[in-house]
Amino acid sequence: MDSLRPPESIYNLIPSDTKIPPKPSRYVSVFKAAVKNELQKGKAAWKTMGPAKVDVPSPKDFLQKRSKPPKLPLSDKKTSKNDIRKPPVPLRSDHPIMGIQSGKNFINTNAADVIMGVAKKPKPIYVDRRTGDKHGLELSGLVPKYINKKDYGIIPEYICKRNEEVKKVQEEYDNYVQTKLKKAAMKRLSDEERDAVLQGLKKNWEEVHKEFQSLSVFIDSLPKKIRKQRLEAEMKQLEHDISVIEKHEVIYIANK
């Protein structure tokens, strides 16, 4: 019975008298043809796959064995005309010369060479273990080799130059420090300058004191009070400076 049923569809739910709206047409750009022509202009038929038309070879002209000239592989060895070649291999018909004898007495010659020759000096060695291990003495550091050199104990030239440069720089720095200390050194006032400064301070104190004496007895405003405090502070400072100068006969002033 299930096989006789129609297949289910969403359109079966829609009444038969209703009309289904048509599907809208697909959008096509008005520049489609122009773009297609632009793409085709830059392409060629044989750009990637070779020419479009190629002559087909004849079946009779097939490749035969040894039809092309042989090509030998390139050798890695570089030969030149100046290279010395070995002598050629002797032929089978060539026979060595036989029967040649020498009258030299090799025993007496060797004995004379040994007697007249200078004896070889034994190589200096040292043994560092009780088992008899031998080592060369020259490279061991036990031979006084470097103290016998001509320039032993002499300071090299580059070190002398370096020491002179360091000494020169140190002297320049010391001179610079001395000049700075002299500039920053304190200056001593002479007796005339001390008396002139003292008289000037006393004169200033008299002027400030005269101005202080001219103040009104009754101070009833803030400006009068501020003026009185300022004059009192100036008189106090001048009195302190005068007492310091009178107390010390030797006075030093720092240079700015």
Look at residue 17 and tell me whether its pLDDT is greater than 80: no
Q: pTM for this one?
A: 0.32
> Which has more confidence, 174 or 187?
174
Residues 55 and 61: their CA atoms lie apart, in Å, by 13
| Mean pLDDT within 88-96 | 87
Q: What are the pLDDT digits (tens) for 41-82? A: 877 655 656 666 677 888 888 888 888 888 888 877 776 777
Residues 135 and 166 reside in one and the same domain: yes
CB burial of 44-62 (b: ≥16 within 10 Å; e: otherwise) equals: eeeeeeeeeeeeeeeeeee
Residue 9 confidence (pLDDT) above 90: no
Chain centroid offset of residue 146 CA = 39
Residue where one domain finishes, among candidates 184, 209, 232: 184
Residue 237 lies in a domain: yes
Locate tokens 């043809």: which residue? 33
Q: Please write the tens of the pLDDT for every residue from 147-186.
A: 888 888 899 999 999 999 999 999 999 999 888 888 777 7
User: Looking at residue 18, what is its pLDDT?
Assistant: 65
pLDDT band at 5 (very low <50, low <70, confident <90, very high): low
Q: What is the mean pLDDT of residues 107-132?
A: 89
Mean pLDDT over each residue of the chain, to the nearest integer: 83
Answer with the one of 163, 184, 205 that is the final residue of a domain: 184
Which structural domain, as residue segments, surrounds residue 238? Answer: 187-253
Quickly list DSSP for 82-104. Answer: TSPPPPPPPPTT-----------
Tens of pLDDT, residues 215-256: 887 878 888 889 889 999 999 999 999 998 888 888 877 766
My answer on whether 153 and 140 are in the same domain is yes
47: in domain: no
The residue among 136, 155, 184 that closes a domain is 184
Report pLDDT for 77.
72
Q: What percent of the chain has pLDDT over 70?
A: 86
Residues 172 and 200 in one domain: no
Domain count, the chain: 2
